[in-house]
């Protein structure tokens, strides 16, 4: 579990005849875009695209930890971010400049922070309790500038020592220590 910060609730009552309101006091609505005007649909989709771009611009959130001079940047969220933070500190004790980016929002993905880190980092290492749900997002953002590796376990939470071993092995293989 992760803590969240909730914004003030908005009391929104849709006044559109097509809005899904649970059919309280009215007959069910069926929305069928095949019967809508194509100019309306295009205008609506352009509006939504602009809205999504604004969200991407203003709502990206991530915490960075020791990334300023990091050669290897770990990316992890949830419990793996807390575990990885300890591994970053241990790797630094062993002579590897490691850092961590912890996405707070996965959509929009914190691409601005990742792009900035990719300017100086030598490698990224995605730490996941899966076989790579986030690695593709990282690869898309760094666009081949920096190699991206994965350390994923399925159903097992790796301990800090396991992750530190991965960081050290990667650093040794790439001559980063």
pLDDT tens track, the chain, 177 positions: 678 888 888 887 777 766 666 777 777 766 666 677 889 889 999 999 999 999 999 999 999 999 999 999 999 999 999 999 999 999 999 999 999 999 999 999 999 999 999 999 999 999 999 999 999 999 999 999 999 999 999 989 999 999 999 999 999 999 998
Instruction: Please give the residue range of the domain that contains residue 112.
Output: 62-174
Nearest to 98 by CA among 66, 130, 129, 133: 66
Q: What is the pLDDT of residue 5?
A: 85
Q: CB under 8 Å to 128, separation ≥6 — which residues?
A: 76, 80, 134, 135, 150, 151, 152, 153
Could you tell me the CA-to-CA distances from 177 to 65, 70, 80 in Å, in that order?
19, 11, 24
Answer yes or no: are the C-beta atoms of 105 and 111 closer than 8 Å: no
The predicted pLDDT at position 31 comes to 66
User: What pLDDT, on a 0 to 100 scale, did the predictor assign at position 126?
Assistant: 98
Give the pTM.
0.80
Q: Is residue 16 part of a domain?
A: no
Distance CA 145, CA 42 (A): 36
Q: Write down the pLDDT at residue 168.
A: 98
pLDDT at 33: 67
Is the separation of the CB atoms in 100 and 65 below 8 Å?
yes
What's residue 3's pLDDT? 81
Continuous segment of H or E residues that includes residue 141: helix 135-142
Structure tokens of 42?
């295009």
State whether residue 155 is helix, strand or coil: coil
Q: What is the 3-state secondary structure (H, E, C) of 93-112?
A: HCCCCEEEEEECCCCCCCHH
Query: Is residue 32 in some structural domain?
Result: no
Q: Is residue 136 part of a domain?
A: yes
DSSP 8-state symbol, 30: -
Residue 50 lies in a domain: no
Q: What is the CATH number of the domain that holds 92?
A: 3.40.50.920
| Residue 159 counted as domain residue | yes
Q: Has residue 111 been placed in a domain?
A: yes
Burial of 5 (0-12, 13-18, 19+ CB in 10 A): exposed
Distance CA 151, CA 90 (A): 17
Q: What is the count of structural domains for the chain? A: 1
Q: Compute the distance between CA of residue 93 and CA of residue 155 in angstroms, rounded to an integer.
A: 29
């Amino acid at each position: 579990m992760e803590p969240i910060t909730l914004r003030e609730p908005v009391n929104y009552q849709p006044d559109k005849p097509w809005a899904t309101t649970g059919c309280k006091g009215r007959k069910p609505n069926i929305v069928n875009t095949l019967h809508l005007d194509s100019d309306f649909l295009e205008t609506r989709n352009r509006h939504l695209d602009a809205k999504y771009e604004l969200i991407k611009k203003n709502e990206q959130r991530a915490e960075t930890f020791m990334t300023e001079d990091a050669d290897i940047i770990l990316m992890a969220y949830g419990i793996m971010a807390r575990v990885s933070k300890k591994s970053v500190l241990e790797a630094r004790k062993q002579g590897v400049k490691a850092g961590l980016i912890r996405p707070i929002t996965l959509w929009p993905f914190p691409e601005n922070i990742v792009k900035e880190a990719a300017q100086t980092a030598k490698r990224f290492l995605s730490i996941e309790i899966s076989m790579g749900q986030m690695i593709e997002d990282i690869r898309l953002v760094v666009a081949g500038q920096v190699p991206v590796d994965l350390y994923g376990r399925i159903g097992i939470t790796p301990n800090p020592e396991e992750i530190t071993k991965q960081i050290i092995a990667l650093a040794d293989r790439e001559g980063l220590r």
